[in-house]
Structure 1
Amino acid sequence: MTTTLPKMLSFAAPDLREQIEALPASSALIGISTDGRAIAVHLDAESPHVLVCTGTGGGSTTILRSLTAQFLHQGAHALVLDPTQVAHLWAKDLPTVTHRGNVAGIHDALVGLASELKRRLHLDSALDDVPRLIVAIDEANATLRQLARYWETFRQKGDPKTSPAISALEDALHAGREARVHVIFDGRPHTSALGPEAREHFATVILSRFTADTWRRLAPMAGPAQKQSTHLGRFHVVQHGVAHETQAILMTDAEVVGWLTGMTDDAI
């Protein structure tokens, strides 16, 4: 049975904020499916990372902002990699967020992530009291290419051939669950950059404006490519081999900052 959904599912909609805030820690609401179910990400279930792959203007930035904001509200910290330098300005001044835009800053942040990953994996105590770390990468494919070129510029004799920033991201994908580090990857994870098993690290795949080839590569377990909707904010969310047509939550920059800082819209 198909449910009629609003053309836009706004964070300001009645009861939606309360529904989001009632979710258990490690979960974030993606949106509402056309059969009326709440479709959420559960980081502690199966693979601990999220893949978002859309065509140009398909809404990937909206998904990254919404999911990252929800985990921040639960007490997580975040590293937001924003190669356009303008897509995630909401993240720049939040105390538990590191926002990086240019390639040098992204490189250094990911090298720092490698150190943090190692620190977490060698802690004597449990990680229950260590904040979850969300690594949100917008336009990831272009970013990985830029990182590879950047490393070629500075690599010295005896340095590894692969960019240490890219290696750090790959390590985070492999050890994410154990270290409470979770990647939200906007793009198509090419095996040449992240290894042949890159796709397997993502239990939740969120698709919009996809080609049949993209569906076949990223969501083969869900059967043939599904018909795409023309509704703004409509995605296909693939989990456990099942695709759910879903109207995603829209959170504006101002709403995210206001929610996370306790400021009213008038004060932002």
Structure 2
Amino acid sequence: MTNTTALPQMLHFTDPGLREQIEAMPEGTALIGISTTGRAIAVDLDAESPHVLVCTATGGGSTTVLRSLTAQFLHQGAHALVLDVKRISHLWAKALPTVTHRGNIAGIHDALVHLAYELKRRNELTNDDLADVPRLIVAIDSTNGTLRQLARYWETFRQQDDPKTSPAVTALEEALWTGRSARVHVILDGTPQTSVLGAAAHELFATVILARFTADTWRRLAPIAGPAPKSSAHPGSAHVVQNGTGHPTQLLLMTDTEAADWLTATAAEEN
């Protein structure tokens, strides 16, 4: 395996030429980072990877990944549903006109229930009509905690004849399974729980970004990529697993201010 010391020390949105490289990416494609070989590691939502899974320990950069990928797709004309149960992780997105930002659990519940109706609406469109509908990114921070809170919230008012599983959780499952055909894509920070999202949900994430991971996490989320490599503590470093291969990668760093300013400037130029 390539020595991870070959990774760039840091990869900033403001590095010379990087913004231009990002803006030249095809629609539906976003830069994740740069590998040890100097290769651009990107995700293509219309090819092999309709959804992205980010799994890191505390301080591993999951919030940064959600921000940088979501911002790139927004720059390309997508809309986004940003679910931020911590309420402070994605404040950059709150004022953007093409973003629905929800932080409290009631708002997250209602937004996901609405997502189910949006999926149904989109799946009833013809291919020509769907092509004119903006791509929708569903970015979920702290997914495991969010799912637990959604389950508890549903129990507070669930009636006897209501389904046991929260309709918000069911909507997220539906987005994972049918989102590609509706141009709806999930960027999920967490570890899919088989008890909540189904036994095969992890198979829908053809791009998995792992940082500061354990050997057990690697075996569960990247089983065909071979033995777990050594996890690096270098800031911003991760392993991006695509097509069964893990790529040591320095993640793109885009700050809250840079994301908000970039997208605000983009909107102003378009108007």
Task: Tell me if TM exceeds 0.5.
Answer: yes
Instruction: Give the whole-Å Cα distance in 2 for the aligned partners of 1:219 and 1:157.
Output: 40
Opposite residue 30 of structure 1, the aligned amino acid is: I
SS at match of 2:52: strand
- The correspondence of residues 141-220 of structure 1 with structure 2, limited to 5 A, is 141-220=144-223
Instruction: From 97, 109, 116, give the equivalent of 1:95.
Output: 97
SS at match of 1:32: strand
Which position in structure 2 is the counterpart of 1:11? Answer: 13
Q: Relative to structure 2, which stretch is displaced further, 125-134 or 162-171? A: 125-134
- The correspondence of residues 13-32 of structure 1 with structure 2, limited to 5 A, is 13-32=15-34
Instruction: Give the whole-Å Cα distance in 2 for the aligned partners of 1:43 and 1:236.
Output: 19
Instruction: Give the whole-Å Cα distance in 2 for the aligned partners of 1:174 and 1:125.
Output: 18
Which position in structure 1 is the counterpart of 2:51? Answer: 49
**Deviations 1:151-176 (Å, cap 9, x if unpaired)?**
01110121111100000000000111
Aligned-CA RMSD value: 1.2
Post-superposition offset of 1:4? 3.4
Which position in structure 1 is the counterpart of 2:125? Answer: 123
Q: How many residues align?
A: 263
Instruction: From 235, 243, 257, give the equivalent of 1:240.
Output: 243
Instruction: Give the whole-Å Cα distance in 1 for the aligned partners of 2:178 and 2:256.
Output: 31
Instruction: Give the whole-Å Cα distance in 2 for the aligned partners of 1:251 and 1:125.
Output: 34
Which position in structure 2 is the counterpart of 1:257? Answer: 260
Post-superposition offset of 1:125? 4.9
Structure 1 unaligned spans of 5+: 264-268
Instruction: Give the whole-Å Cα distance in 2 for the aligned partners of 1:48 and 1:240.
Output: 13
Instruction: Give the whole-Å Cα distance in 1 for the aligned partners of 2:154 and 2:204.
Output: 25
Identical pairs, percent: 73
Instruction: Give the whole-Å Cα distance in 2 for the aligned partners of 1:226 and 1:5.
Output: 15
SS at match of 1:154: coil
Runs of 4+ in structure 1 over 4 Å off: none
Which position in structure 1 is the counterpart of 2:269? Answer: none
Opposite residue 81 of structure 1, the aligned amino acid is: L
Opposite residue 145 of structure 1, the aligned amino acid is: R
TM-score, scaled relative to structure 2? 0.95
Instruction: Give the whole-Å Cα distance in 2 for the aligned partners of 1:176 and 1:247.
Output: 28
User: Residues 43 and 49 of structure 2 are in contact (CA less than 8 Å); yes or no, is this contact kept in structure 1?
Assistant: no
Post-superposition offset of 1:262? 0.7
